[in-house]
Homo-oligomer: A and B are copies of this chain.
Amino acid sequence: MQRVSLETPVLKKNDEYAAANRSLFAQNGAVAVNIMSAPGAGKTTLLEKTLNRIPFRCAVIEGDIQTSIDADRIRAVGIPAHQINTTCCHLDAKMIGDAMRQFPITGVELLIIENVGNMVCPAAYDLGENLRVMVYSVPEGAEKPRKYPRMFYQSHCVVLNKIDLAPYTDVSVEELKANVLAVSPNAVVIPVSSRTGEGLDAWLEWLTAKVGEARAAAICA
């Protein structure tokens, strides 16, 4: 019996859709950021604390298995949001292309794509984004970068969220940071607490600079 690997053709097709998204983002002058994490790491809360504090016109595409809770939270802070409900454990590039037909990104400078909460599969699917950010919840433990390295090493920035909880756990933030850098030496690692606001300035500064650079590069291209 011949065995057929399904991953390669599925991902090849995904790459074609991702390339189309990339063109569409560029044509609109939008920078796209794919935010990934395990469920409950605090992506939406981080976005609530971010979107009105950066100098760009933002919009958000939300990916979830069920409900529009996250899109509703984003709209509640005054930012346009579109909810994708998928039976799938990750977003893929076709879903983003389809979403943009219902949710046009004209005038949007920064498009945030909040992926499905999952530390494995989303990392395999290019959405056509300019930047990848991973949010990691400190109480999840210091060793996870070694156990689930792919999402860490594919991310330009790893936000270590919920550092306010660290004193009440056995997790060493220093050990966690070292484990992130061991699997992803070029990642920028930013410890924050979205709840208390600690570290958010460093995150806002990084995001503003990187989105500005990507926009400048697109204008020169």
Task: List the interface of chain A (C-beta within 8 A of B).
Answer: 6, 38-41, 64-67, 69-70, 89, 116-121, 137, 139-141, 143-144, 146-150, 162, 164-165, 168-170, 195
- A148 pairs with B65, CB closer than 8 A: yes
A69 CB contacts on chain B under 8 angstroms? 143, 146-147
A141 CB contacts on chain B under 8 angstroms? 40
Minimum distance in angstroms from A137 CB to a CB of chain B: 7
Q: What are 10 A-to-B residue pairs whose CB atoms are below 8 Å?
A: A6-B6, A40-B140, A40-B141, A65-B120, A67-B147, A116-B120, A117-B144, A165-B165, A165-B169, A170-B195
Minimum distance in angstroms from A119 CB to a CB of chain B: 5
Max chain B Cβ within 10 angstroms of own Cβ: one of A146, A147, A164: A147
Of B38, B137, B147, B169, which one neighbours A65 at CB under 8 angstroms? B147
- A89 pairs with B118, CB closer than 8 A: yes
A168 CB contacts on chain B under 8 angstroms? 164-165, 168
Name the prevailing secondary structure of the A interface residues.
Answer: loop
A117 CB contacts on chain B under 8 angstroms? 38, 119, 144, 147-148
A165 CB contacts on chain B under 8 angstroms? 139, 165, 168-169
Q: A66-B147, A89-B118 are in contact. List 16 more A-B contacts (CB 8 A).
A: A39-B144, A40-B137, A40-B140, A64-B147, A65-B149, A66-B146, A67-B146, A69-B146, A69-B147, A89-B89, A117-B144, A117-B148, A118-B118, A139-B162, A165-B168, A170-B195
A150 CB contacts on chain B under 8 angstroms? 65
Of B40, B70, B162, B170, which one neighbours A38 at CB under 8 angstroms? B40
Minimum distance in angstroms from A109 CB to a CB of chain B: 29
| A140 to B, closest residue via Cβ | B40
Minimum distance in angstroms from A139 CB to a CB of chain B: 5
A144 CB contacts on chain B under 8 angstroms? 39-40, 117
A170 CB contacts on chain B under 8 angstroms? 195
| A73 to B, closest residue via Cβ | B143
User: Roughly how many angstroms separate A71 CA and B64 CA in the complex, as a whole number?
Assistant: 32
Given A66-B148, A139-B137, A118 and B119 touching (CB < 8 A)? Answer: yes
